[in-house]
Chains A and B, each alone.
Chain A
Amino acid sequence: MQINLKINKKTYSVEVSEDEPLLWVIRDKIKLTGTKYSCGKGLCGACTVLIDNIALRSCITPAISVQNKEITTIEGLSENGTHPVQEAWKEIDVPQCGYCQSGQIMNAVGLLNKNAHPSETEIDKAMQGNICRCGTYPKIKAAVMLASEKGGVK
């Protein structure tokens, strides 16, 4: 079926099947590849995007369920990496291989949207679903805290 998706403030008209996850529509059809595939089952967070400012796993979100909603991918956070969370990520130099980081950043933005000043335990709880195989967890935590200090919501 033909649906309209509003991604990063642009509207795209795409042909999808009923069960087609948003992840594959974003990656294969809209060709925004910053959103990553890793587990495909909602278990790792690599595919996290914002739906109306809430962090969601795009691999288990049917595309047809998010018509008429504001979808934001990593490419839509800012043009050149100037969103406060991205800035914090750069200041701390978080990534190793980088593969999980779009999802980590989007999830962190989702957290700070809800809770501008999370405690360490709240960060742990909110970021628990995002696996970093390279083990950048200590730096992720530091970057979320830094973003929160600097006012991570935008």
Chain B
Amino acid sequence: MKKRYTRRDFIKVSTLVTGGLIAGFHLPGCFDETKRSAAGNTVKNLLNEAVWTDVNVYVKIAQNNLITVIAPYPEIGQGVRTSLPMIIADELDADWNLVVVEQAVTDKEKYGSQFVGGSTALKRSYELLRKTGAAIREMLIKAAAETWKVPVNECKTENSFVIHKKSNKKLTYGELTEKAVKYKPSEEPKLKNPADFSVTGKAKKKVDLNDIVTGKLKFGLDTQIENMVCALVLRPPIFGTKLKTYNADKALAVDGVIDVFKMPEPTNDFDVHRGGLVVVAENSFSAIKGRNEIYVEWTEPENNIKSSAHLTEKFNSNLKKTGTVIKSVGNFKNAYKNSDIQIEATYELPFVAHTNNEPQNTTVVIKENSCEIWTPTQVPNYVRKLASQITGYDINQINVHVTAIGGGFGRRLEADYAAEAIYIAKQIKKPVKLFWTREDDFEFDFFRPAGIHKLKAGIKNGKIIAWDTHHTSTSILTFNNTNEKPWAYEIYPDNYPPILVPNLNMAYSDTDSNIAVASLRAPGHNSTSFADGSFTDEIAHKLGVDPIRLHLDLIGEPKKIPYHSHGGPELDTQRIKDVILAVKEKSDRKKDLPKGYGQGFAFHFTFGGYVAVLTDVYVSEKGKLSVKKITAVADIGRLINPAGAEEQISGGIIDGLNITLNAEITVKDGKIEQQNVDTYPMLRISDAPEIDVHFINTDAPVEGVGEMGLPPVAASVCNAVFDATGKRIRSLPVRKHDLSYS
């Protein structure tokens, strides 16, 4: 498996594929059935009468002034089906009430790489989408000016109308489109002044809202194709094992079971599935029952992780070595030796599962001249390429339909389930829906790596002068066979706060493991933030200073520092200081809380976003922890949809809280122990604290939003628990610790 979302988008507006009148059939997009035009006509009615003209691959305009805006990327709950069309609609000066959103086809020639991950979707498309909207707006103005025989600069646009300022004559975009598409779009159209934004920057509800609350939205698992069969795979329990022998007689006797056969063994680069046995049945339930009846034996894997304790042993033995130095500033050894106070601590993190609420699935139909795929994926073009490799069809014969997706969190950057479905369809020559049970989803997840951080700090005259991090984990990139920098997804050499310490050493040791790992929301950061954020708090307590004070002292005179990993090119400590001061102000920061009550602070810089949080907890004498409130201040630059941004930060916080309190995947007898949410507790409604989110610096350039809320949570909660009880938590999840006191 290879890293595959590094491709940049070099698409220019002027070269966007354009069109003309689309005859006849048009797929309905997504809209709110209650929305109306100014004249009171419902969008539903207007859609029925719409005759569309393709302006380019992003925009279609109908004669009755409805506008379809294409959502180029998969929606995984992060809001891009709403926010990205908003960007185009704004520069186009469109009436948002009459905008219908449609999911893009999968085609990187038209839309660039359409992956969603690393909170990059907004950032990497923002400029192109703005220019697309602005260029079309200019074409519409030209068409109106020509119709009226007036100069272009006497025309303005508003709510999907072009208006002649002097005479107040008006034409709808719908009336002008056919004429407008004859002009060549400008490469550098005049963009709006941000003060004039009419759609972005205003809270908008999700375009899919009505379809969700009525159950109409079609997720991958909801795909229904005529004559479709259902398939499940019985996979080798762990990477490195293979099928030894099996007997499917009983399974074949189950009502509705059609066939049981072997998946091909993974051999090629593009074989991202895990082998095993396939059960094909008339429906999902028969497939489940049939699979339970298969007798199977697997080979023993070599060098496998036998248990969680075994893995910890490996971590600890690696931590005794020096590791690969990934950052060295000043002279850590000397400074540490010469410091007044020396502090040392280790922080341990377990494997964590993605637990997408919608289990993995893919539906495939292989026809004579094409292959149709419906899949909930974060990497549609990668699936397209895989399908072409597996079927032997040309890439243009492969149509990947991105469905609604029941959560991404990084799991759907892997395409193992899509590959399985394509192989099965190829084998059985019938439309097939491959689905995973919840148990499959746990056992065959690619987990957030487990690891340990060993930290040391030296203090002189009340200042941190030396910092050493040695991190070991089960590296994602090593698991993916990309060995050059095994640390690159695990730990970031320019992270705050270590980067501000004058004598710094950072090292990484890769711990060999056969447990599948991959990115999970805020990869690397979801682990380092716990260690760095807790350790800073420990230092503050050791020095007897307020943790926020310690951060501000460390920052000193704000400056910009080069940041070489994703989220760079720079780290601006002024922005760190601003969110820290703001969170202090927004929350009510209390001193001398009664025993059992505590507050904890943490800050983290994630992929270009700055987020500071302050958490209030209460711990009862018996040790029951309740997280009462989390106040967050985020600087993620300009907000496209403030409502969406708020819910992403809030959702990230809840995700972070689940990782902090609950989430843990363990290994026993070489296998993943957790199978369902009874043994892998998930945060429930009564555990959700009050969450208060604020944004600052919203004139700064656009950043992403999906991941930034998560990282600071773990440290802030554990720091608060320390404040409340004097107990320092150095391994997650919190539920394993006894917090009782007297």
Contacts and interface: CB of A to CB of B under 8 A. Distances in A.
Given A24-B283, A33-B222, A125 B212 contact: no
B394 interface: no
A97 B406 contact: yes
B688 A137 contact: yes
Contacts of A128: 684-686
A58 interface: no
Contacts of B209: 89-90, 93, 95
A102 interface: yes
A124 B652 CA distance: 21
Contact of B214 (A39, A81, A96): A81
B653 interface: yes
Contacts of B268: none
Interface string B655-693: 100100000000000000000111000111110101100
Contacts of A37: 221, 284, 359
A44 B284 contact: no
A50 interface: no
B214 A34 contact: yes
Interface in B38-96: 75-79
A73 B79 CA distance: 26
Contacts of A81: 33-34, 210, 213-214
Nearest to A140: B685
A42 B416 CA distance: 27
Interface string A66-103: 00000001110110110000100110010111111110
A124 B684 CA distance: 9
B438 interface: yes
Contacts of B76: 97
A98 B255 CA distance: 33
B529 interface: no
Contacts of A33: 215, 218-219, 221-222, 224
A99 B685 contact: no
B222 A98 contact: no
A101 B212 contact: yes
B582 interface: no
Interface string A16-48: 010011001001110111111111110110100
A112 B34 CA distance: 25
A99 B283 contact: no
Interface in B355-405: 355-359, 404-405
A130 interface: yes
B21 interface: no
Contacts of B8: none
A109 B144 CA distance: 52
A124 B685 contact: yes
Interface in B633-661: 643, 647-648, 650-655, 658
A100 B654 CA distance: 15
A41 B676 contact: yes
A127 interface: yes
A15 to B, nearest CB: 10
Contacts of B356: 133
A95 B212 contact: yes
Contacts of A56: none
A80 B33 contact: yes
A133 B283 contact: no
B737 interface: no
A97 B79 CA distance: 8
Given A38-B357, A97-B77, A135 B213 contact: no
B213 A28 contact: no
Contacts of B651: 96, 134-136
A138 B284 contact: no
A7 to B, nearest CB: 13
A141 interface: yes
B219 A99 contact: yes
B440 to A, nearest CB: 11
Contacts of B33: 80-81
A81 B209 CA distance: 10
A90 B678 CA distance: 31
Contacts of A27: 222, 284
A145 interface: no
A98 B214 contact: no
Interface string B446-458: 0000000000000
B650 A138 contact: yes
A95 B677 contact: no
Given A33-B222, A128-B684, A131-B682, A78 B647 contact: no
B438 A101 contact: no
Contacts of B648: 96
Closest 9 CB pairs of A and B: A34-B215, A135-B654, A97-B77, A99-B406, A74-B215, A137-B688, A33-B222, A98-B212, A96-B77
